[in-house]
Amino acid sequence: MQLSEQEILRRENLQKLREMGIEPYPAEAFEVTAYAKEIHEEFNDDAGEPLNFQHVSLAGRLMGSRVMGKASFAELQDSTGRIQIYIARDEICPGEDKELYNTVFKKLLDIGDFIGVKGFAFRTRMGEITIHVKELAVLSKALHPLPIVKRDEEGNVYDAFTDPEQRYRQRYVDLTVNPHVREIFLKRSKLISAMRRFFDGRGWLEVETPVLQPIHGGAAARPFKTFHNTLDIPLYLRIANELYLKRLIVGGFEGVYEIGKMFRNEGMDRTHNPEFTSMEIYVAYKDYQWMMGMVEQLAEYVALEVTGHTKVEYEGQVIDFAGPYRRLTMYDAIKEYTGIDISGMDEAALRGACKQLGVEVDSSMGKGKLIDEIFGEKVEENLVQPTYIIDYPVEMTPLAKKHRSKPGLVERFELFVNGKEIANAYSELNDPIDQRQRLEDQLRLAERGDFEAMAMDEDFLRALEYGMPPTSGLGIGIDRLAMLLTNQHSIQEVLFFPQMRPEKAKQQEKQEEIG
């Protein structure tokens, strides 16, 4: 792998800086006293008022320059945005020696280099707030040329860096040149911090539970398997943390939540990445009815904190997170969208209904799975505004408590937004005998060929036998919620480093080349 012309030039520039006695990667800290954004927002040059930002020190990447002989304008991009800087030869080089301007600034600095500037804020003739530079320092040389993205006055973007493969593989470049990408991740971060604030404010405890689990419980999915040498046992990356969080409720905490990565060894697409972030919370002495109210408050709070509004635009639709949300039983939802009343149907009748509706099924599917198929096929996509689907058939939900008044159902809800499930909650099953029974039913499903049926976890059952208070639990897919709140329709756009096939030998060859 050859270095490109531009890469060679930058390496030469690096060498020349060293020859001039300028260290391109200085060790000492550079004191930053101001940021682009605050200067744009707060600079005050109204007549009669004292000027502010008259002694500032900024650091960031050089993102463009317009050299006009003995004076230049350039763009400095720091963590808050861009600001124009003005550099005049005779000001940064007051003596005879004009090298700092003529050679260092004009020739040896490249776009992408980190620099530090000291000077004062002013407004140019054209009205742009600008830093008049008195001192210039090289903070870190960039050897790889950045894509140059230009924007005109109307905000039109030219030569955007858009190739998804490169954007995901080199997210650092994407974040550097695409401010809208940066915005998405700032919002994602706000989403998580808002959620923490909401829970912490109610006195619930943030906890951490094992990622490496000897038994992968709490959900139905294929796990990643690994091996612990010292213990000489297989371990699984968690597909869920539900059973551990419930153990903590058994242990006496009233409310516990965990925000963390789950791992599922399944397909990848626009809404699935092998590792993803979930939030699960369990609160004692509550039921799923209470939880629906809590989720409405949470979703409204989070939407407001992240976007400033409860109404969020997503793929051209306006979604309103202000509660209360419509509540619809699973059977009623199916009746509403298919015209068929499946309540009271046995497995054979359900198979008939699937056939009638053109829903594909196979012989390994039990009653719960059949209903789920109909729902997924015929109902989900219609649930655009936040909607609770409640009261699921017991067969689909081995960890939820039996419905207080409706036989054959459990106390469960899922929250659908824009046709996608974003939250799932139960009145948690805390009857240890019933729980054992349900897990045994899962084993039978597994024997029928459902390789995703849940595994038996004797220690979890033992914990329930010690007694778990009535509890409601909730899980939220953070990535999908982030997609909704940032108007993105691919999970890769809300993950810094989405899973990709490894890049080929290119990088290796290059390493060898450079030594």
Span 489-508, contacts to RNA by CB under 7 A: 490, 492, 498, 500-502, 504
Name which of residues 168 to 187 contact RNA (CB under 7 A): 168
Distance between CA atoms of residues 57 and 35, nearest Å: 8
3-state secondary structure of 375: helix
Distance between CA atoms of residues 278 and 425, nearest Å: 13
Name which of residues 298 to 357 contact RNA (CB under 7 A): none
Amino acid residing at 219: A
Q: Considering beta carbons, is residue 51 or 193 the nearer one to RNA?
A: 51
Burial-class residue 267 by CB neighbours within 10 Å (0-12, 13-18, 19+): exposed
Q: Considering beta carbons, is residue 291 or 399 the nearer one to RNA?
A: 399
Distance between CA atoms of residues 276 and 29, nearest Å: 36
When asked if residue 454 is in the footprint of RNA (CB under 7 A), the reply is yes
Sole binder of RNA in the list 15, 54, 79, 166 (CB under 7 A): 166
DSSP one-letter code for 394: G
- By CB under 7 A, the count of residues binding RNA is 76
Q: Which stretch binds RNA (CB under 7 A): 61-69, 201-209, 334-342, 345-353?
A: 61-69
Name which of residues 378 to 437 contact RNA (CB under 7 A): 396-399, 421, 424
Query: Which residue, among 311, 312, 307, 211, has the nearest Cα to 262 in the 3D structure?
Result: 211
Q: Which stretch binds RNA (CB under 7 A): 158-166, 248-256, 283-291, 459-467?
A: 158-166
CB-CB neighbours of 64 under 10 Å: 16
- Which parts of 256-402 fold into alpha helices (H)? 288-307, 330-338, 347-357, 367-378
When asked if residue 459 is in the footprint of RNA (CB under 7 A), the reply is no
Sole binder of RNA in the list 98, 99, 111, 446 (CB under 7 A): 111
Sole binder of RNA in the list 57, 84, 310, 385 (CB under 7 A): 84
Sole binder of RNA in the list 145, 260, 274, 432 (CB under 7 A): 145
Query: β-pairing, 205-206 with 255-263?
Result: parallel
C-alpha 268: how far from chain center: 16
Nearest approach, Cβ of residue 288 and RNA (Å)? 14
Q: Considering beta carbons, is residue 4 or 15 the nearer one to RNA?
A: 4
Nearest approach, Cβ of residue 163 and RNA (Å)? 3
Q: Considering beta carbons, is residue 130 or 329 the nearer one to RNA?
A: 130
Q: Which stretch binds RNA (CB under 7 A): 22-30, 219-227, 313-321, 322-330?
A: 219-227
Nearest approach, Cβ of residue 221 and RNA (Å)? 5
Q: Considering beta carbons, is residue 324 or 515 the nearer one to RNA?
A: 515
When asked if residue 4 is in the footprint of RNA (CB under 7 A), the reply is yes
Distance between CA atoms of residues 353 and 337, nearest Å: 13
3-state secondary structure of 140: strand
Q: Cis peptide before 164, with omega less than 30 degrees from 0?
A: no
370 within 8 A of 399, measured Cβ to Cβ: no
Q: Which stretch binds RNA (CB under 7 A): 62-70, 190-198, 293-301, 339-347?
A: 62-70
3-state secondary structure of 197: helix
Sole binder of RNA in the list 128, 135, 200, 440 (CB under 7 A): 128
When asked if residue 279 is in the footprint of RNA (CB under 7 A), the reply is no
Query: Which residue, among 247, 148, 161, has the nearest Cα to 460 in the 3D structure?
Result: 247
